[in-house]
Structure 1
Amino acid sequence: MSDLPNERPSRLRRALAAVGRVATAPVRGAAYLVRSGQAHQHFFLPVLNGALGDQLAARRDPRAIRMSFRRNGRDASVAALRLRGPRRKTVVFVHGLMGDELIWQTGFQDPPGHARYGPRLAREAGARALYLRFNSGRHLSENGRELSHLLTALVSAYPEAIGELVLVGHSLGGLVIRSAGYYGSEQWAAGNGERAAGQAAERGEGAAGSKGPGRTKKPVSVTGPLPTPHAPLPDPLAEKAPWLAHLRTIFLLGTPNDGSWLEQNSHFTARLLRRIDLFPTRFLSNALNQRSNGIKDLRRSVLVDEDWQGAHADDPAPPRTAVPLLPGVAYHILMGSWLKTNRPAALRQYFGDGLVGRGSAQGTEIFGNEAALPPGTSVRTAEFAQQHHLGLLTHPEVYQYLKHWL
């Protein structure tokens, strides 16, 4: 029997190969950095807006992102979407702090041909996927109100194409969705109330809606066009933003419903440095306080204007408006557990997915009381072991959960 050839490289060849790898490592490393930088350059504006977006918007800087649907890497107006019937389940993806719409579609280190949640749900579940980009450095309530207006424009423009509406939010994006629900219900009703009051004043009706001699018309603040003089008065309590009638499901991925421990620590540090009141500490405090309003809102996850406009907004424990859940909506809370199970439970609870604590993601203050849920509302919670905050965007089990409950 002849000897088999020795396929193992000689010691000399292995040594030369190792030397070659060491010699070319800087070149390969530089090439990787270049490719990585090119692949991630789309994050430049989102990161800048997440850090300083409120300041950019205040001075009308052209780099300030405006909320818009996105298609093919560009802003797309509602009219430019050109959605067609028949009605389909429509999923709107809302990114988090310093993110953009591409996090739902593809990634630099994804395998060739790999698609993330948006394209896969469109292909495998037959859903229509729409992607949003917005200035995450603005107040949560400002983005929430604008999102409500945008969704209203969407369902109003395509009544024959939009079926059930599903909202998927990651991190801060989930808070923007909840704020949009608030402004779509509370403020829409308030706006209709003002229009109804204006119409009543034009027709000479009193507070109870009755006419009578001797009644004096009082000046009324009216927003928007008045209904025709003979049209019936709308019921301000019954009317809500039109998109809420389509809404069926909300997925909240790693959303700090009760605030972020990271921002809470940043706020405490800034206040402590200010109280020391030395030039270096004042300088550091001022520098730390340059972070955007969107980041600051994460301390307590304030979703309405009044909470950040109030005189006590900067207090250690400021008041916060409880934004109720929407009736008839299925809420799904998906959260990661970053630390291993052999770590102390208190640490795993505090750090959660690394950026959002477990208790905050669960939203105990809002989602924890099942007896107080509105009619038709349900809450389901799923935890994914050893998953960090960004890992929730690529986890196969998270995708299967979305697909199952879509």
Structure 2
Amino acid sequence: MHARISPWPEHPATPGQTQGLTRLIYRSVRSVARFVGGGVEALLHLLPEGEAQAPNSPQRDALIAALNGVLGDHLQASQNPLATPMQWRMDGQTLPSEPALLQRTLRDKGCTSKVLVLVHGLCMHDGQWRHTGHDHGAALAQALGFTPVYLRYNTGLPIAHNGADLAQQLEALLAAWPHAVERLVLLGHSMGGLVLRSALHAGPPAQQRWVKACSDLICLGSPHHGAPLEKAGHGLDLLLAQTPYTAPLAQVGQWRSAGIMDLRHGTVLRPPAHLPLPTGLRCHAVAACLSGAPRAGKPARLAERLLGDGLVPLDSALGWHRRSAQRLAFEPERCLTVWNTGHLDLLHSAQVSQQMIQWLR
């Protein structure tokens, strides 16, 4: 930036670079930055070794989940041990991956023939389904006899990547299930709903059996057509790149993870393409809005639809799009809008819980 703004003429041998004392200072700054960056990478590699025997805590889980959401693709590409592997969780514990041990563990936990899979959103982890003391998984287990199984995964990876991995994990989970699975219900919050849609797309071509057992997909506040914050971030990148003076700053914005970038348009496939709702099961959508409900007989105002739950607009959560070919065909009776509710409030909404019980009953 200095070289592009500086009034001094560029050196013909090194165009676009600073010269003299300024160049010496900047080279020193870059050397220090590289040293600090390398030190941070080394510390990130050493941190899990130091904490390997330490018990997990909500604070530690939340920090690592946020780190994976923002830089998860970089953590995996650099083989950093802080990258979160995809794993099943029950009762706050990680389930074993070895099939025989997994089946024995599930049998010991008294699993029923009805399975509920819960998939969290961006920068979150499975423990955050219990929000302010309420857990939709526990509520559906008590009301309808489901056995809740929670997924923990790296939300910084591309949604299509996580969807393909989840399809394989579901196949292995149901193969190890100690009973014949009578019913499989998929529940996703925010990005989790997109990952589930991607998994439902990846399963049939591989002839995976879990797809046939799936009866319902429920998406809570999922940005099917994108989230404004990521669209604004992309727009800022484009704006900064328009002038030579601010173009270097645009590179900073590119450091956010592939998972975050996929939320710009709700991308669930690679290469990006429109994905209709899966067939052969019931699909439900829940949207939230921070404002109160409109008057009876009147539709929500434009400002309310754009505001949504603070992160996801109403239209995006309900699959509505101005282009008919892009719309998701959620049936009206399988859609719910809750008012005076934020994005995270969907995790403990009694209204949402009761509606899901009615849908699944």
TM-score normalised over the length of structure 1 = 0.67
Counterpart-to-counterpart distance in 2, 1:282 and 1:138:
26
Superposed CA deviations along residues 13-47 of structure 1, whole A, max 9, x for unmatched, are: xxxxxxxxxxxxxxxxxxxxxxxxx6433201110
Counterpart-to-counterpart distance in 2, 1:87 and 1:71:
14
Q: 1:86 to 1:391 in 2, by over 3 A?
A: closer
Superposed CA deviations along residues 361-396 of structure 1, whole A, max 9, x for unmatched, are: 111259978x9969xx99711000111100100111
Residue 342 of structure 1, CA deviation: 6.9
- After superposition, residues 245-284 of structure 1 pair within 5 angstroms as 245-278=212-245, 281-284=246-249
Q: Report % sequence identity.
A: 33
1:352 matched to 2:331? The reply is: no
Residue 125 of structure 1, CA deviation: 2.0
Partner residue in 1 for 2:29: none
Counterpart-to-counterpart distance in 2, 1:365 and 1:248:
26
Superposed CA deviations along residues 57-86 of structure 1, whole A, max 9, x for unmatched, are: 001100000111013444323532533488
1:174 matched to 2:193? The reply is: yes
Counterpart-to-counterpart distance in 2, 1:404 and 1:160:
25
| Structure with the greater alpha carbon radius of gyration | 1
1:389 matched to 2:356? The reply is: no
Let me know the Cα RMSD of the aligned residues: 2.8
Runs (5+) with no aligned partner, structure 2: 1-56
Q: 1:366 to 1:50 in 2, by over 3 A?
A: farther
Q: Which of 280, 283, 288 lines up with 1:331 in the alignment?
A: 283
- After superposition, residues 15-164 of structure 1 pair within 5 angstroms as 39-78=58-97, 79=99, 80=102, 82-84=105-107, 88-104=113-129, 106-107=130-131, 110=132, 114-158=133-177, 160-164=179-183
User: Given that residues 367 and 379 in structure 1 are in contact (C-alpha distance below 8 angstroms), is that contact kept between their aligned partners in structure 2?
Assistant: no
User: Given that residues 334 and 381 in structure 1 are in contact (C-alpha distance below 8 angstroms), is that contact kept between their aligned partners in structure 2?
Assistant: yes
Runs of 4+ in structure 1 displaced over 4 angstroms?
341-344, 365-369, 371-374
One-letter identity of the residue aligned with 2:156: G
One-letter identity of the residue aligned with 1:83: L
Counterpart-to-counterpart distance in 2, 1:91 and 1:366:
33
- After superposition, residues 222-301 of structure 1 pair within 5 angstroms as 240-278=207-245, 281-301=246-266
Superposed CA deviations along residues 176-222 of structure 1, whole A, max 9, x for unmatched, are: 0000011112x42xxxxxxxxxxxxxxxxxxxxxxxxxxxxxxxxxx
Q: 1:102 to 1:87 in 2, by over 3 A?
A: closer
User: Given that residues 324 and 366 in structure 1 are in contact (C-alpha distance below 8 angstroms), is that contact kept between their aligned partners in structure 2?
Assistant: no
Q: 1:372 to 1:296 in 2, by over 3 A?
A: closer
